[in-house]
Structure 1
Amino acid sequence: MFAGLAVLLYVGHLAADYPGQTDHQSAHKAKKTLVGWLANLTHATTHVLICGALLALGALVLDEVTLQPLPTAIALLWIGATHSFIDRRWPVRWWMEHTGQREFLQHGGAAHVDQAAHVIALVAAALFLAAI
């Protein structure tokens, strides 16, 4: 069940992060303003909704995917919260500055570390759901 859940969540992530993210959200989601927080939270909500829809679809059509409401809600809350946190951008920058990646940061590496952090959070959610 883990593999099916991981694929569903990863596809949901890609759908929400690229075609599902507006230019406004991308430009403002890290700002320390009301506009920034609203852009960030609406983007994170997009992740929760798309991942939730894909999990529901997976539970309907894939024999190996069975979901329980409370653990699924917890996993989706985790996805929204971690996505919102990572997308504030300072956590990725802090990580790179404190783990010997300053040069990588200077050459566009933040986007890669950002995506790796999101995938790690998705794998954690898939592991949690598979273990229940």
Structure 2
Amino acid sequence: MFAQIAFLLYVAHMLADYPLQTDHQAAHKADKGGEGWRANLAHAATHVVSCGVALAVGAWLLPDVRLSAGPAALALLWIGASHGFIDRRWPVAAWMKIARQTKWAQHGGAAHVDQTAHILALAVAALAFSV
């Protein structure tokens, strides 16, 4: 069941991060102040909704996908919180500095580290259904 859940969450993540993310969210989700937090929270909420829909569709159509309310709620909370945290951008910048990746960061590497962090968070969420 882990692989099916992980794939559903990954597809939902890609939808929320690209076609469902507004230009305003993309431009302002890391800004300081109210506007930045509103953009960030709206984007994180998009992830929660898209992942919730993907999980519900998966539970409906895939016989091996069984969901219970508690783990599903915790997983969706984790997805929203972790996504919002990562998208403040400073965690990725801090990691790249610690990992001595400043040149790579200047040449587009931050987007790859960002997506890797999101996929790791999704894998943790998928594990919540497998234990």
TM-score normalised by the shorter chain: which range applies? over 0.9
Query: What SS class does the counterpart of residue 105 from structure 2 fall into?
Result: helix
Q: Which residue of 2 aligns with 1:72?
A: 72
Same amino acid, percent of matched pairs: 61
1:18 shift after superposition = 0.3
Query: What SS class does the counterpart of residue 130 from structure 2 fall into?
Result: helix
The reply on whether 1:105 has 2:116 as its aligned counterpart is: no
Q: Which residue of 2 aligns with 1:88?
A: 88
Q: Which residue of 2 aligns with 1:39?
A: 39
Query: What SS class does the counterpart of residue 66 from structure 1 fall into?
Result: coil
Query: What SS class does the counterpart of residue 58 from structure 2 fall into?
Result: helix
1:42 shift after superposition = 0.3
Deviation readout 1:7-62 (Å, 9 max, x if unpaired): 00000000000001000000000001100000000000000000000100100110
Once residues 107 and 50 of structure 1 are traced to their aligned partners in structure 2, the CA distance between those partners, rounded to angstroms, is: 30
Q: Which runs of 5+ in 1 are unaligned?
A: none
Which runs of structure 2 are paired with 1:53-72 in the superposition (5 Å)?
Answer: 53-72=53-72
Any runs of at least 4 consecutive aligned residues in structure 1 with deviations exceeding 6 A, and if so which?
A: none
Q: TM-score normalised to the size of structure 1?
A: 0.98
What is the aligned-residue RMSD (CA, Å)? 0.5
Once residues 126 and 114 of structure 1 are traced to their aligned partners in structure 2, the CA distance between those partners, rounded to angstroms, is: 19
